Structure 1
């Protein structure tokens, strides 16, 4: 690997200066498994996916927040010397009241369409009268009040049908997004594996370009010797020298492509720039694995879409329930106490000797815009849309798995064929090289053979990479590249 980088530098002087100033690059060995683990652990795209889907956690919590406990406490002081319509206006003008008010209420809505409430209040009043002898006000008084309230939906949102529909829809959509997140992570891993193989292939192409240039350098030297001895044909040396320049150009192009792929791979894996990578790849081409049939209904994309259909149905049920007028049962029970002493007022409250009861119905109906009916239509369209998507995705998932399998089989056959082709090209190049040295072959035939040999080496590396990528794409189509438990563990870190 170090030799490859040194080849890219222009002069040995620059190489020496670079080696003295720059620290030794870090080194890491990568294979398909380590690439998948690294991109899931620290890849920036993995972090983006996880952060994006963590934002969806708010929606179900936001929906449930409508059923939080609601505590309200208010306390304060009131000074009152207002004039009232009393029989004795002088009394009204000469009485001032100081009141301390405290109220507290606790309310809890439930998804059964029920709202329970508890109310407590205390009013303490102090009165001062100036110059009043007849019917003076009581100096101090305390009044306590406690009550329980109940409100139950009977028609619109019948016993919480709409409430439960909204809550269930939010939870189902969250579950669907969670499953979809695993699929996005799988795409990130697949992209990293593709980049791994593309980088490896570009490295091999760079090596082969250097080897090809070296072979042409030897051929140029051999032709020069033959030319000096008068054994070469006219035009042999210029042809070989021209091809040598072509190989020089190939080295530059291959090096640029390799470094670009290497930098992209380091970025995907969040590795430090300049890290030296050693590729650990199988030496032999593995055979196509035999896998058990995968039920399309078990795929994550299908399970996610099914949850979206269920969520849309829940939203439709909620909208239909809310389209009716509101009719609620209301019940209230209160007990109170009042006395000059706060203790006696509370005792009277607790005794329940002054109860108050209320039972009734509350009716409400909004009309004019027809928003209820349009909401139902909208929710039904959404449900039909999600159902249509499910039908389409079922067919696409079946096609994708079959196409991925065929692609693997074709890539395997191509890899084996290019391996044989490379051997034949190499043998032809060697034989024609010997024939040329014996003066029995034209230089153009040898050049063609050598170029074909180089091309076959490049094609072989590409075919091996394409086969490995096809295998991973097949695994991704079957949701086997990233198991559900692996995706969940990375998400919960």
Structure 2
């Protein structure tokens, strides 16, 4: 009836709303979904900048190594003017040479190095006549070099290139896992905030209920239906509920501050008020075998460890070739044109007038082989270490899945029981209220029933928030958490690539 009296008087209604806002804080001013909170974190969290730095550093190193196989082009020009002692009396010799050359070379992943060269040499001298004579020497050449035995067909070069690519992919996978862990930390704070919102609501309702009961007890005492001790107990109950409300509000404010700072909203005054949160959701059916199978497929850290193991195996195998001598074969082929006229000299090259070739081979071997064997032993040790890490990672994944699934099943049972307990405690409270009005039970019995009902609601909300966190653990264990939230493919790392990190 009091509510209708307020509605009849707009000024009183406005006063009621204002008082409610001052006590409870403003109504929800915006909606903050879990995905939105994680997106904000990826845009502002300091760890994202560190991840981007690691990724860019390794990417730059990979490009640097690939640059060793780029074309190298040299363009040169040289001019010389030389005076020599005369061959004939009073006839000094003067020689002028002008050289133009263009060279191009490239290394291949097969261990082959080849080069192309072309040059034009213009020579002018007066050794025979008083006038200068000209002649042109035009050359076109090809050179090849190939390592044999040690690194036949370029095995070390191919392994090195594959090593760079594998390390980059391994880092991408590890960064994706770090993003998942960062998202899980934010998710836990999000659900903790949701829990504290619910607990604060329960505390507020319990306080209002205790206040109404105290007012009713005072009213009944005035007509002789309640004693002074009843009033004192009702007042003590209301004060205790008021204290619990203040404690719940403190926990709520702390939870919101923690989440707000984590997602980078603490500097924005527009986000001071409490947001509207989404309710938790979970899958009631979780199977251990299916979850473990998905973990083997999806876990980025497990795949990264597998890549490292295979990489170290290839490096170990490539080091075994160090026992062979270094045998290098080289060869060249050249075409030369000689003529006083430049065009004729070029035509001689084109018509293969003057040609030549060469073939060479060199052998190098360290008989002690201490350095080579040490590299082989280090590669073997690194491979064994990667095997150990891979096995540990598998054990950790299996443990996380088993613990997560078992905890999920137990927590689901706890949630069902908490709902049943809450239902029964609520019914008991309603029954006790009727009995108290009829004088069949004492005020202590009623207050105890109200407290047990409130505690059952507390435990139900705690079970719901813990259920959301347990579902998070299962998704994290099987490596599908970010994918289920709708984020992109892990290998391209779109989250990192599109991050706009604000330092101000």
For this structure pair, what is the TM-score category when the shorter chain's length is used for normalisation? 0.7 to 0.9
* Distance of 2:90 and 2:475 partners within structure 1: 92
Length-normalised TM-score, structure 2 = 0.78
**Distance in 2 between residues matched to 1:431 and 1:245, nearest whole Å:** 24
Q: Does 1:27 align with 2:30?
A: yes
Give the match for residue 71 of structure 2: 69
TM-score by length of 1: 0.80
Once the two structures are TM-superposed, the CA of residue 118 in structure 1 deviates from its matched residue by 0.7
The whole-number CA distance in structure 1 between the counterparts of 2:283 and 2:133 is 99
What is the match of residue 374 of structure 1?
A: 374
> Which residues of 2 match residues 54-453 of structure 1 at below 5 A?
54-55=55-56, 56-76=58-78, 78-81=79-82, 86=85, 97-127=95-125, 138-226=132-220, 228=222, 232=226, 235-265=229-259, 273-274=271-272, 277-281=275-279, 287-289=284-286, 293=290, 294-295=292-293, 297-300=296-299, 301-322=301-322, 324-365=324-365, 370-436=370-436, 441=441, 443-453=443-453
**CA shift in 2, pair 1:89/1:372, >3 Å:** farther
Structure 2 distance, partners of 1:188, 1:123, is 66
Cα shift at 1:387: 0.7
Secondary structure at 1:392 match in 2 = helix
Question: For the Cα contact (< 8 Å) 1:79–1:98, is it kept in 2?
Answer: yes
Query: Please, what is the CA RMSD of the aligned residues?
Result: 4.0
Structure 2 distance, partners of 1:163, 1:441, is 90
Q: Give, in angstroms, the shift of residue 367 of structure 1.
A: 8.5
Distance 1:137 1:365 in 2: 57
Q: Tell me: CA distance 1:274–1:75, structure 2 relative to 1, closer, same or farther (3 Å).
A: farther
CA contact (8 A) 1:45 1:188 kept: no
1:40–1:443 distance in 2 versus 1, CA, 3 Å: same
* Conserved 8 A contact 2:87-2:93: no
CA distance in 2, matches of 1:104, 1:367: 41
Whether contact under 8 Å (1:126, 1:140) holds in the other structure is yes
Contact (CA 8 Å) 1:35, 1:193: kept in 2 or not? Answer: no
- What SS does the corresponding residue of 2:150 show, helix, strand or coil? coil
SS of residue matched to 1:154: strand
State the distance in 1 between where 2:181 and 2:434 align.
50
Q: Please give the secondary structure, in 2, of the residue aligned with 1:107.
A: strand
The answer to whether structure 1 residue 461 and structure 2 residue 461 are counterparts is yes
- Mapped contact 1:206–1:251 kept (Cα < 8 A): yes
Q: Is the 8 A contact 2:288 2:401 kept in 1?
A: no
Contact residue 124 and residue 140 of structure 1 kept, 8 A:
yes
Q: Aligned pair in 2 of structure 1 residues 50, 26: CA closer, same or farther (>3 Å)?
A: farther
**SS of 2:149 mapped into structure 1:** coil
**Inter-partner Cα distance in structure 1 for 2:384 and 2:271:** 50
Secondary structure, counterpart of 1:338 in structure 2: strand
Structure 1 residues 251 and 356: alpha-carbon distance in aligned structure 2, compared to 1, 3 A threshold: same
Q: Determine if contact 1:49/1:184 at 8 Å carries over to the other structure.
A: no
